[in-house]
Chains A and B, each alone.
Chain A
Amino acid sequence: MSYVLVFAPLIGFLLTICFGKLLGDRISQILTSSLVLASTLISFFYFFKFISNDTAIINDQIINWLSSGKLSFDWSIYIDPLTSLMLVIITSISFLVHIYSIEYMSHDKSKPRFMAYLSFFTFAMIMLVTADNFVQLFFGWEGVGLASYLLIGFWYHKNSANKAAIKAFIVNRIGDFGLAIGIFIIYKYLGTLNYEEVFNGLITLNDKTISILGIEGSIISFIAFFLFIGAMGKSAQIFLHTWLPDAMEGPTPVSALIHAATMVTAGVFLVVKCSPIFENSIFVLNLILVIGASTALFAATIALVQNDIKKVIAYSTCSQLGYMFVATGLGAYHIAMFHLFTHAFFKALLFLGAGSVIHSMKDEQDMRRMGGLWNKIPITYVFMIVGTLAITGFPFLSGFFSKDAIIEATYYSQSKFGGYAMVVCILTALLTSMYSWRLIIRTFHGNFNNINLDLKDVKDSGLIIILPLLLLSIGAVSSGFAFKELLIGIDFIKFWDNSIYFKENFELKHPPFWFLLLTPMFATFAIPLSFYVFLKNKKIIDDIKARHQPLYNFLINKWYFDEIYDFIFVRPIKNIGDKFWKIGDIFIIDGFGPNGFAKIAKIISIKAVKFQSGFLYHYAFVMLIFLSIFLTLIII
């Protein structure tokens, strides 16, 4: 059964990519969707088995992938509670996105290709989470990167889409490089890449130090650090986040699946999976805490001023991923996973809802050209409201349970940076509310501002788009309440079992009541506040904008990250590349190499041809000259 889970999406991908034209659009869509549905059902089956505690960890070896000397690893299917949770998220969101895409992409010419890529992504992501060793993880890691690249650049006729795809690929490369180095160090010092053997072998590395580039540190810290670099790249944490907003160039279903619910959470998954490593490095845990908290705050501030509906949600994703890293940094891995779980639902809901809006608005993404849509597309409106309530942590929706659990964890943290994280998290919760409601208000309320489109033409999307939204909103509303006890309750260890490692027993103490009320209060208070400042009395906003023009510019330009990177990295590298190309390659290598040789050959050839004068006495002369030369040689 586990084979079907893994290979169904792969078969869907292969069939549609090879025979897409032959099968036709409709059959390709049905084929891929139903194969992913099969995976989804099996994932749920495993998940519920783990919930009821009647199965052991599944570890099926597909083949021995490579065996060379001491190095040996399998291609296998490894399912433990952590993986089963990831599988449920991946396959169910993927299935809903497959369905959603049928209508969303109905005007596109290459539907089979799109469905194939989605299936390929699903396969690669399943590879990533079912790995039992680092190499297979890396394979899946690169596979999802490739799928992401292909899907961002799906509309390859758009220049901006190509640029965004390349940017995503290159920025991810930095992270992947870190991950690769981490894996190399693991192999060098432990001689194995199998998770279990690595985690068991860690004890031998205690107190051992190495020095890299003159920096002395414990091996485990270095491993953890480099793995975290990989996680930062995939999960778009600050400094390596620049690709995620640009990735919104891809079709909206892609954004929902890859850039919100699944792939970007691979970094969090990696950290949780490798918790035995991270638990042994206080330094890296603190680093994760700081990076996560900073990302949460920084992304939220940018989301506050963006005008593109998808970019707001993209930065919101960035910010929520920050929350998850805060939780891992505190050692509360199960809470991180819980937030990952709930976030997948409400963020996919928001993205697909936004997609529905965009679809209704005939591919308009700028919120400044929307407004007043709520009674034109009421169903979408309702779902967006649900998603927004969930993300802002409105009491008893999913975000409320998971996000508040993280904030509570910060309160009792022993970490040096716990206080910083706590303040940032609470502040970010407020900001989250603000930008989320701003999105709703700008899109659905106020006056209709689009001059290209008549308000009468704006209609709600069809049933195929609405259905996934409905299912997701059920998840967004109930997943927190339903799984709270199981995943982060008092007896949480019962479900997680050995799949997460806690160095010291994790106890979630409840902070004082006033602290518990703080975030929900902010979240609720932000609703009328947003309505007031964004709708009723826009003057206030305009005033603030006018008074703090530099700050506003700073935010709308995304903290100038792209510009700084452009200045520090892109342009110098481009210049160096230019020099290498023009001087190194064209002038030196080509000039003295192929072209130079070709030129020399031509000159010699002309000389050699001229040498053949046709005169008999020349010929005889040459013969005699060489006779004398040979005689001389012999004498010498």
Chain B
Amino acid sequence: MNNIEFIYPELFLIISLLILLILGVYKSNSYNFIKKITTICFLLCIPIVYLNNIGDFNIFNNSYSVDSLSNYLKILILLSTVFSLMFTNDYIKIQKLDKFEYPILILSAVIGMFLMVSSNDLIGLYLGIELQSLSLYVLASIDRGSEKSTEAGVKYFVLGALSSGLFLYGCSLLYGFSGSTNYYEISEVFKQDTSIPILFGIIFIIIGLAFKISAVPFHMWSPDVYQGSPTSVTSFFALAPKIAGLGAIIRILYICFGEIYEEWKSIIIFISVASMLLGAFAAIGQTNLKRLMAYSSISHIGYVLAALTVGNRDGVISAISYLNIYIIMMISSFACILFFKRKNVYFENIYDLSGLSKNHPLISFCFATTLFSLAGIPPLAGFFAKFYVFKSVVEANMIYLAIIGLIASVISAFYYLRIVKIMYFDPENEKFDEGSNIGIRFSILFSSIIIIFYFLNPSSILYYVEMATKFLN
């Protein structure tokens, strides 16, 4: 137990979870209270993680890493979760989802994510994934009265179980050949042995993880789940789990499978290209905003994976920078989507936004900016994100990947700009409700400012990401 001081953030969250669960059970109508405490816990956790960042350590017999990368991702997870709790407040109350389990499930999912980004061991990773996923399955179907929400939960659960099965099978193959579940020990084995069966194990593991970040062709659940789940849950899906999933992927690809880069490179390239293109093409046909965002996030995940195919620290830096900017853009998008309600009914179709600019010039400006940024139009933040990725891909002599990425972003520009066109040039519609809560306003304002003014100091995020990935050298 002499490494216990390194896992204070996790311990803090677990203890909070237990206490809150008990409080929730004993106190009636305790949603508001629990939610506030949960948010405060997350906010408190940020300095704890930050203070814990005193170096790179592998603890518990090398099975758990507390290093700058994991700490960086943890802070990102915490921040995005805080935002998603903040701007979904109204929605949860109006949709009558205000059960105390809601914030607690999110809390447990975040603990699972912490495990995912930190664990240096297949068992630890699997536990983290399962803790996260089980919470998310329940969250997806939390609106029990709604057929769609239940359907989403079931689909997510069944397919998630399948992917967990594949993942576990891969783990057992690796264990069978290497005799260990630890990343470092497995990577030692790869130095001598790259026989087919052990590579099979890699494929199974990659597929299991690709499912979690909804990369094509294991993305099929995500549009249905995004659309079916309550929007508050969807927004959460689009944020924190992606960070955790990518954190896990980066760690396993670069530390565990680092020795056999050539073997997994082509698989990741395939997944990345498929994600970019399918995300772009399929979104054209969507009129539901949530479904559209699902495809949009699939496409963006493709870009992150493209950066990871580079196989060196530069790739990781651009991938994490991309992820960072993606999170900010998603916060802005979902905060805007949650703004579109009339008389407590939420609207999700893009044609409901018709002529938005006449009634709500500020919101439509922010949303349009976000969409331009998602499309990667300079000088907004989204452009820099894509720029970093293309730069590192081109430097690694994979120009074709950059070209495919460019084509995909041109195609995806169509559906983003279509929304802008609907907002600005189509006939006016009824006004949306004014006076949405402070959380939405703050989220939109905060993220829009970053998106618009990112170009003033583009090296800021890069600097932190570079610090975070120092140990990868």
Contact (Cβ within 8 A) B263 A623: no
The contact string, 1 if C-beta is below 8 Å from chain A, for chain B 142-156, is: 000000000000110
Given contacts A623-B163, A627-B203, A634-B203, contact A605 B217 (CB under 8 A): no
- Chain A residues with Cβ below 8 Å from B411 are 601
User: Are B278 and A616 closer than 8 Å at their CB atoms?
Assistant: no
Quote the shortest CB–CB distance from A624 to chain B (angstroms).
8
Across the interface, name the chain B residue whose C-beta is closest to A613: B220
Residue contact A616 to B158, C-beta cutoff 8 Å: yes
In the complex, A633 Cα to B284 Cα: how many Å? 31
* Cβ contacts under 8 Å, B207 to chain A: 623, 626-627, 630
In the complex, whether A564 has a CB less than 8 A from a CB of chain B is no
Which of the residues B166, B203, B218, B282 comes within 8 Å of A605, measured between beta carbons?
B282
Beta-carbon contact of A631 and B203 below 8 Å: yes
Cβ B221 vs Cβ A609 within 8 A: no
Contacts of B278 in A (CB 8 A): 608
User: Chain A residues with Cβ under 8 A from B203's Cβ?
Assistant: 627, 630-631, 634
Which residues in window 594-636 of A have CB below 8 A to B? Answer: 601-602, 604-606, 608-609, 611-612, 614, 616, 618-620, 622-623, 625-627, 630-631, 633-635
Q: Is B162's CB under 8 angstroms from A620's CB?
A: yes
Q: How far is the CA of A611 from the CA of B277 in the complex (A)?
A: 14
Residues of A within 8 A of B221 (CB): 619
Residues from chain A with Cβ under 8 Å of B285 in the complex = 605-606, 608-609
* A631 and B217 contacting across the interface, CB-CB below 8 Å: no
With both beta carbons as reference points, the residue of chain B lying nearest to A614 in the complex is identified as B224
Q: Does B15 lie at the interface of the complex (its beta carbon under 8 Å from any beta carbon of A)?
A: no
Contact A634–B163 (Cβ < 8 Å): no
The answer to whether B199 and A634 touch across the interface, beta carbons within 8 angstroms, is yes
Instruction: Report if A626-B224 is in contact (Cβ < 8 Å); known contacts: A601-B411, A616-B159, A634-B263.
Output: no
Q: Is the CB of A634 within 8 A of B166?
A: no
Produce 1/0 per residue, B291-323, CB < 8 A to A: 000000000000000000000000000000000
The residue on A at minimum CB distance from B211 is A623
A396 smallest CB distance to B (angstroms): 74
Is A623's CB under 8 angstroms from B282's CB?
A: no
Look across to chain B and name the residue whose beta carbon is closest to the beta carbon of A635: B196
Residue from B206, B217, B220 having most chain A Cβ neighbours under 10 A: B220
B181 at the interface (CB under 8 A from A): no
Tell yes or no: B16 within 8 A of A by CB.
Answer: no
Residues of B within 8 A of A611 (CB): 282
Q: What is the interface residue range for chain B against chain A?
A: 20 to 34
Q: How far is the CA of A627 from the CA of B267 in the complex (A)?
A: 11
Q: Is B281 an interface residue (CB 8 A)?
A: yes
A568 to chain B, nearest CB (A): 44
Q: Tell me if A604 and B162 are in contact (CB < 8 A).
A: no
- Determine the residue in chain A with the shortest Cβ distance to B278: A608
Q: Which residues of A contact B33 (CB under 8 A)?
A: none
The CB with the most chain A CB atoms within 10 A, among B158, B204, B206, B217, is that of B217
Is B266 close to A, CB under 8 A? yes
Which residues of chain A are near B196, meaning CB under 8 Å? 634-635
Q: Is the CB of B155 within 8 A of A619?
A: yes
B376 touches A (CB below 8 Å)? no
B453 within 8 A of A: no
B159: chain A residues at CB < 8 Å are 616, 619-620, 623
Which residues does chain B contribute within 8 Å of A627, judged by CB atoms?
A: 166, 203-204, 207
0/1 interface trace, chain B 199-234, chain A, CB 8 Å (1 if under): 110011011000100000110110110000000000
Please report the C-alpha to C-alpha distance between residue A634 and residue B224 in the assembled complex, in whole angstroms.
31
Measured CA separation A548–B170 after assembly (Å) = 104
Does B180 belong to the interface (CB within 8 Å)?
Answer: no
CA of A633 to CA of B269, assembled, Å? 13
A376 to B428, CA, bound (A): 67
The prevalent SS among residues of A at the interface is helix
Q: Is B286 an interface residue (CB 8 A)?
A: yes
Report the Cα distance A54→B74, complex, angstroms: 87
With the chains together, A623 CA to B212 CA distance in Å?
Answer: 13
Q: Please report the C-alpha to C-alpha distance between residue A622 and residue B216 in the assembled complex, in whole angstroms.
A: 10
Q: Within the assembled complex, what's the spacing in Å between the Cα atoms of A606 and B266?
A: 28
Chain A residues whose CB sits within 8 angstroms of the CB of B281 once the complex forms: 601, 604-605, 608
Within the complex, the shortest CB–CB distance from B350 to chain A, in Å, comes to: 15
Q: Which residue of A lies closest to B220 (CB)?
A: A619
Chain A residues numbered 364-399 whose CB sits less than 8 Å from any CB in chain B: none
A608 and B408 CA atoms in complex are apart in Å by 14
Q: When chains A and B are docked, how far (Å) is the Cα of A616 from the Cα of B153?
A: 12
* B 268-292 contacts with A by CB, 8 A: 270, 278, 281-286
Chain B residues, Cβ within 8 Å of A626? 207, 217-218
Asked if residues B155 and A608 are in contact (CB atoms below 8 Å), the reply is: no
B286 contacts A623, CB within 8 Å?
no
| Docked CA distance A630–B170 (Å) | 13
**Given A601-B411, A619-B221, A627-B207: A609 and B163 within 8 A (CB)?**
no
In the complex, per-residue mask of B164-183: 1 if CB is within 8 Å of any chain A CB, else 0? 00100000000000000000
Find out whether the CB atom of B200 lies under 8 angstroms from the CB atom of A631.
yes
Distance of B176 from chain A, by nearest CB (Å): 16
Q: State the Cβ distance, A309 to closest chain B Cβ, in Å.
A: 54
In contact, A623 and B200 (Cβ under 8 angstroms): no
Closest to B159 in A: A619
Residues of B within 8 A of A608 (CB): 278, 281-282, 285
A interface footprint on B232-269 (CB within 8 Å = 1, 0 otherwise): 00000000000000000000000000000001001100
> Which residues on the A side are within 8 Å of B282 (C-beta)?
605, 608-609, 611-612
- Please determine whether B284 and A601 come into contact, CB atoms closer than 8 angstroms: yes
Q: How far is the CA of A626 from the CA of B411 in the complex (A)?
A: 25
Q: A604-B281, A630-B267 known; A620 and B211 CB under 8 Å?
A: no
Which residue in chain A gives the minimum CB-CB distance to B411?
A601
Query: Complex: how many Å from CA A318 to CA B461?
Result: 71
Alpha-carbon distance between A619 and B216 when the two chains are bound, in angstroms: 11
A625 to B166, CA, bound (A): 13
Q: Given the complex, which residues of B lie within 8 Å of A634, measured CB to CB?
A: 196, 199-200, 203, 263, 267
A604 and B274 alpha carbons, distance in the complex (Å): 13
A614 contact set on B, CB distance < 8 A: 224
Contact call A633/B266, Cβ cutoff below 8 A: yes
CB within 8 Å for A616 and B155 given contacts A605-B284, A634-B203: yes
Find out whether the CB atom of B267 lies under 8 angstroms from the CB atom of A623.
no
Residues of B within 8 Å of A620, CB to CB, are 158-159, 162
Q: Tell me the smallest distance from the CB of A623 to a CB of chain B, in Å.
A: 5
- A and B contact pairs by CB, cutoff 8 A, 11 listed: A605-B284, A612-B220, A616-B154, A619-B220, A619-B221, A623-B217, A623-B220, A626-B217, A630-B207, A633-B266, A633-B270
Interface residues of B (CB under 8 A from A): 154-155, 158-159, 162-163, 166, 196, 199-200, 203-204, 206-207, 211, 217-218, 220-221, 223-224, 263, 266-267, 270, 278, 281-286, 411, 414
Additional 17 contacts, C-beta under 8 A, given A608-B282, A619-B155, A633-B266: A601-B414, A604-B281, A606-B285, A609-B285, A612-B220, A612-B223, A619-B159, A619-B221, A620-B159, A620-B162, A623-B220, A627-B203, A627-B204, A627-B207, A633-B270, A634-B196, A634-B267
Closest 10 CB pairs of A and B: A608-B282, A619-B220, A605-B284, A609-B285, A626-B217, A605-B285, A604-B281, A608-B281, A605-B281, A634-B199
